């Protein structure tokens, strides 16, 4: 019993000492936050998305396995101490807000895991991701569906027609790797002139199956990422640039590398050596990774690159590229219908079969992809809003910058990737 309470006692000792010492406690709070995050990670696999701090902290969290209720008490105590922290330095101010937001999510997640709270979709989005996603009537997507009806005419139901149309754009299995590597290279080349990529940065690309996601970046620390691609379902040509930018440049690999270099190594801000997946940081991570596609390939540049470079590599007819981009752009707008369906499903208004059927009907996902998406909802809950809603929030913030030249936008985007900014600080 005593052994199990050690983590809490460390915090309580610190809280007793805190008023005596006339200094800032942010560094100590940050250290305790890392320990509590690792401790909570012991209760849910996948909670800790990345950790590259001291190994003994991880070991300590595993061995002591702090009781959930103590994690909650300790995190709340840290929040109380944090309220008194003030700074004139804008970056330190963001750091304090970051710790507040992350601790708030940590408490919420711990309450969810021990079953003492049951959030609906919007409550979860607020509690874990520090945001209020928009609501849209499903009927409001009808004009987009009508437009797609015109672009891909025929007698069969629209979702079926779209699925058949898209078959022409599947990358043959044996060409996936060469196409993906070409796309990642291009994403890197387009990011490098504007973002300080680290000298030793690198990644490994792997192909996996049987996952609820289509791609994943496992950041390993020291500027190295393991990027995995799920090959369960057919891979369409536009996935290459999506993946290259989202998981690589200027997405997750770049973001994690910059946080590590600028905040962990340069400033000693240990809280960035841990990345709890169900936290506000994910909205910035996913949002910037998705908006990163537009940063690297603004305007028609993506179409030109895909048509002239990737289509020939994949053996797909380049003359179809323009129509495919039109269809894909409209389909992307339908991703917000997916958020509405996720809300209905998580709020127990519809069951899994109905959710898959509606994703097929409104988001025009293939039958198999719809099922994969429902399994994503099961695993990750309201996390889905971090992609499209996160992207739109990040886009708004970048577009609100004082310098709207290409270099100016990259500068602002780079600032976001190198600072402790959370969704509620995106204004
Ligand atoms: Zn991602």
Q: Which pLDDT value is given to residue 214? A: 86
Q: For 135-144, what is the mean pLDDT?
A: 97
Are residues 42 and 62 in contact, defined by beta-carbon separation less than 8 angstroms? yes
Q: Which pLDDT value is given to residue 5? A: 36
The residue ranking higher by pLDDT, 6 or 194, is: 194
Q: Which pLDDT value is given to residue 345? A: 98
Give Cβ neighbours of residue 243 (< 8 Å, ≥ 6 apart). 180, 183, 184, 215, 227, 229
Each residue's pLDDT tens digit, 277-322: 999 999 999 999 999 999 999 999 999 999 999 999 999 999 999 9
Q: For 50-77, what is the mean pLDDT?
A: 96
Q: How far is the CA of 267 from the centre of ligand 1 (A)?
A: 26
At 4, the pLDDT band (50, 70, 90 cuts) reads very low
Q: How far is the CA of 40 from the centre of ligand 1 (A)?
A: 22
Q: Which pLDDT value is given to residue 424? A: 85
67 has pLDDT over 90: yes
Tokens, residue 300: 């028609």
Are residues 314 and 238 in contact, defined by beta-carbon separation less than 8 angstroms? no
**For residue 171, with 0-12 CB atoms within 10 Å meaning exposed, 13-18 middle and 19 or more buried, which class applies?**
buried
Q: For 210-225, what is the mean pLDDT?
A: 91
Give percent of the chain with pLDDT exceeding 90: 89
Each residue's pLDDT tens digit, 78-108: 999 998 888 899 999 999 999 999 999 999 9
Q: For 232-261, what is the mean pLDDT?
A: 95
374 has pLDDT over 90: yes
Q: How far is the CA of 153 from the centre of ligand 1 (A)?
A: 33
Q: Which of 242, 241, 240 is nearest to 175 (CA)?
A: 240
20 has pLDDT over 50: no
Give Cβ neighbours of residue 174 (< 8 Å, ≥ 6 apart). none
What is d(CA 95, CA 341) in angstroms, rounded to the nearest whole number? 35
What is d(CA 419, CA 199) in angstroms, rounded to the nearest whole number? 20
Q: How far is the CA of 245 from the centre of ligand 1 (A)?
A: 10
Q: How far is the CA of 21 from the centre of ligand 1 (A)?
A: 41
> Which of 50-59, 83-92, 337-346 is the least confident region?
83-92
Q: For 51-76, what is the mean pLDDT?
A: 96
What is d(CA 211, CA 226) in angstroms, rounded to the nearest whole number? 15
Q: How far is the CA of 248 from the centre of ligand 1 (A)?
A: 10
Q: How far is the CA of 176 from the centre of ligand 1 (A)?
A: 20
Give me the residue spans of the domains in the chain. Answer: 3-118, 138-402
At 51, the pLDDT band (50, 70, 90 cuts) reads very high
Give Cβ neighbours of residue 304 (< 8 Å, ≥ 6 apart). none
Q: Which pLDDT value is given to residue 212? A: 82
Q: How far is the CA of 375 from the centre of ligand 1 (A)?
A: 16
Q: How far is the CA of 289 from the centre of ligand 1 (A)?
A: 6
Q: How far is the CA of 279 from the centre of ligand 1 (A)?
A: 13
Give Cβ neighbours of residue 339 (< 8 Å, ≥ 6 apart). 133, 136, 384, 385, 388, 389
Are residues 244 and 291 in contact, defined by beta-carbon separation less than 8 angstroms? no
At 110, the pLDDT band (50, 70, 90 cuts) reads very high
At 11, the pLDDT band (50, 70, 90 cuts) reads low
What is d(CA 187, CA 292) in angstroms, rounded to the nearest whole number? 9
Q: Which pLDDT value is given to residue 19? A: 45
164 has pLDDT over 70: yes
The mean pLDDT of the chain is 93
Q: Which pLDDT value is given to residue 3? A: 37
411 has pLDDT over 90: yes
């Amino acid at each position: 019993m005593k052994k199990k309470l050690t983590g809490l006692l460390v915090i309580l000792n610190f809280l007793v000492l805190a008023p005596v010492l006339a200094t800032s406690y942010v560094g100590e709070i940050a250290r305790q936050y890392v320990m509590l995050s690792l401790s909570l990670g012991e209760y849910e696999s996948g909670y800790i998305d990345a950790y590259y701090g001291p190994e003994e902290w991880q070991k300590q969290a595993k061995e002591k396995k702090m009781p959930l209720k103590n994690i909650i008490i300790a995190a709340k105590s840290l929040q109380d101490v944090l309220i008194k922290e003030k700074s004139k330095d804008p970056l330190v101010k963001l750091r304090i807000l970051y710790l507040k937001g992350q601790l708030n999510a940590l408490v919420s997640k711990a309450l969810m895991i021990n079953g003492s709270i049951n959030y609906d979709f919007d409550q979860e989005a607020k509690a874990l991701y520090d945001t209020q996603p928009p609501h849209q009537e499903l009927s409001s997507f009808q004009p987009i569906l009508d437009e797609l009806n015109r672009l891909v005419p025929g007698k069969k139901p629209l979702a079926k027609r779209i699925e058949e149309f898209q078959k022409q754009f599947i990358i043959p299995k044996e060409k996936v790797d060469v196409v993906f590597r070409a796309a990642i290279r291009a994403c890197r080349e387009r990011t490098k002139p504007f973002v300080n990529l680290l000298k030793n940065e690198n990644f490994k690309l792997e192909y996996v199956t049987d996952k609820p996601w289509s791609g994943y970046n496992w950041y390993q620390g020291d500027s190295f990422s393991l990027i995995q691609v799920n090959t369960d379902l057919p891979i369409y040509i536009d996935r290459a640039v999506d993946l290259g930018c989202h998981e690589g440049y200027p997405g997750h690999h770049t973001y994690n590398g910059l946080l590590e270099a600028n905040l962990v190594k340069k400033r000693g801000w240990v809280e960035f050596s841990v990345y709890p997946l169900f936290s506000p940081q994910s909205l910035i991570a996913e949002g910037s990774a998705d908006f990163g596609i537009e940063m690297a390939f603004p305007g028609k540049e993506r179409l030109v690159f895909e048509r002239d470079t990737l289509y020939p590599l994949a053996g797909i007819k380049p003359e179809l590229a323009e129509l495919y981009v039109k269809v894909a752009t409209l389909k992307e707008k339908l991703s917000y219908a997916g958020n509405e369906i996720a809300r209905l499903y998580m709020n127990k208004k519809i069951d899994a079969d109905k959710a898959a059927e509606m994703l097929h009907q409104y988001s025009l996902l293939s039958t198999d992809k719809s099922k994969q998406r429902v399994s994503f909802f099961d695993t990750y809950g309201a996390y889905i809003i971090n992609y499209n809603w996160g992207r739109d929030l990040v886009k708004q913030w970048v577009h609100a910058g004082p310098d709207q030249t290409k270099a100016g936008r990259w500068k602002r985007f780079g600032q976001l990737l190198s600072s402790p900014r959370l969704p509620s600080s995106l204004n």
